[in-house]
Amino acid sequence: MVPLFTLLIAYAIDFGYFFIAAANITSSARNAAQYSILGYQGPAQSGVPAAGPTSTVTTVGALALADLTGLKSSSTTTTVEVCTKANGIASNLAKCTSYLNGVTQGSNTYTPAADPEAPRFVLHRVDVTYTVQPPIPLSVFSVTLLPSLNFHRSVSMRAMD
């Protein structure tokens, strides 16, 4: 009876951590997308903030990672992709830049959607992908009972061009 109760407690802790991770990832993507169109100043500012690098605290990618600092290994298991007109525009789409472990990656993980009212508006998008490791890893006979999971959240917001 005690091993079953211990297993249930461990799964409850893992489920709670997964729930908190999902909420943090959602909030991170939303805050970063809003910052990518507003910046520090507000709607009347002249320029949009830079997408990266994530080592510079005033960039969109750094804000997305900063929102995840409470999660376990967030700096090494998080990919942030920022599509913003600060990167340039090609075929009415904002160009994207990916960051993994704070390092700029060259390829796009997810294809951005075109704004239906382009070229007047441009969709800015932030994709956050986080690999969630269970805080209590459980295994029986070298078989993991609860594997790591990839959580992905994407937020798109419009900016007037």
At 54-103, the pLDDT tens digits run 777 788 888 888 888 888 776 677 888 888 888 777 777 778 888 886 66
Domain positions in the chain are 2-160
What pLDDT band is residue 161 in, cutting at 50, 70 and 90? low
Residue with tokens 């900063």: 66
How much is the pLDDT for 84?
83
How much is the pLDDT for 107?
57
Residue with tokens 């472990």: 101
How much is the pLDDT for 29?
92
Higher pLDDT, 39 or 4: 4
- What pTM was computed for the model? 0.81
Average pLDDT score, the chain:
80
How much is the pLDDT for 40?
67
| Highest-confidence segment of 11-25, 117-131, 139-153 | 11-25
What confidence tens digit (pLDDT) does each residue in 101-124 have?
666 666 566 667 777 777 778 888
Residue with tokens 């295994």: 139
How far is 72 from 79, CA to CA, in rounded Å? Answer: 14
Q: Which residues pair with 152 in a beta bridge?
A: 129
For residue 100, give the 3-state DSSP assignment: strand
Contact predicate 71/130, CB 8 Å = yes
String of DSSP letters for 17-86: HHHHHHHHHHHHHHHHHHHHHHTTT-TT-SSPPP---TTSTTSHHHHHHHTTTTSTTTTTSEEEEEE-GG
How much is the pLDDT for 106?
62
Q: Is the pLDDT reported for residue 4 higher than 60?
A: yes
Displacement of CA 36 from its chain's centroid (Å): 13
